[in-house]
Homo-oligomer: A and B are copies of this chain.
């Protein structure tokens, strides 16, 4: 069961997260960025990457594998490109500053791309793509991640959920924003099934013996030991296109690691060879394209908007309620979040209370 869910106003949670990061030693400006990335995820209806992860960042800072102070070093720079080193600082800050840099370059030269090394978990990739969309640009963001997904014809978790995010402005109330793992699903969704006591749909996960696993509890227990792996978009084998999801994930790995000569695949596990914790050494890749260099921005907005409206007006499948376009559900979720607050389940309530006690933040009067 999901347990008792309480809704908390967006701004209360944002302020709380900001305070938590400050208490962890994150400088003011950076703490604002971290809190904004996380609350944006909750606002957009992606609870897996929002305040739900706050304690994970806290733990990693305490463990010494995540630096609260982010030394953002530009290692190499040309007109349109840069390689930056985040020195194991906050992924959100590294992501934010990298995309800012890409946007500046795109404003001057039409395009900008930044590869980041020695970074850490940066929240939703869509946040950074949206930064460009807000500037009248196309934004793309990619990251590699802890190994959890098996290549086609393998059962070994070799690469991460390696998401692709793409955002652009439209003439509608909200931007187009595609932001998705290149795997069918990610661990967070299986955790939700566990709370609901539900089985995992056959096809999401493969066991080390090659079976499509559905036992949610067993999967969650066995994933860290490599007994189970997530499957790429398209599923096991090639018949339903699993090699395509796999290929997209490798593309993301190459963009995120090879353009900055960084760590990749299993070296992103967060453990060294002796099993000791170490920084995750993630890599990201950010791309900004200045739309106005191609066509007038208003024209682009209109074309993009019209594409989306026509898609939503397509003939419905029998029994289906409506057709969405990417970014639309997030827009609807944001409306709900601002009206009703963010749903906080019992697990998360416990985490929040723990952080309040640990960090002396009891003046936040949460309704739990």
Contact = CB atoms under 8 A, between A and B. Distances in A.
A186 B308 CA distance: 23
Contact of A314 (B81, B151, B253, B299): B151
Contact of A294 (B158, B166, B234, B259): B259
A249 to B, nearest CB: 10
A265 B307 contact: yes
A152 B328 CA distance: 13
Nearest to A166: B251
A155 interface: yes
B184 A240 contact: yes
Which of A76, A259, A317, A322: most chain B Cβ within 10 A?
A317
Copies of the chain in the assembly? 2
Contacts of A154: 311, 314-317, 320, 323
A122 interface: no
Contacts of A362: none
Interface of A: 76, 78-81, 83, 109-113, 115, 138, 150-156, 158-159, 164, 166, 168, 176, 178, 180-182, 184-185, 201, 203-204, 206, 208-210, 233-236, 239-241, 243-245, 247-248, 250-251, 253-255, 257-262, 264-266, 289-291, 293-295, 299-300, 303-304, 306-308, 310-311, 314-326
Contacts of A155: 315-318
Given A250-B308, A258-B300, 11 more contacts: A76-B295, A80-B80, A80-B293, A109-B109, A150-B314, A152-B324, A153-B322, A154-B320, A166-B251, A184-B234, A247-B326
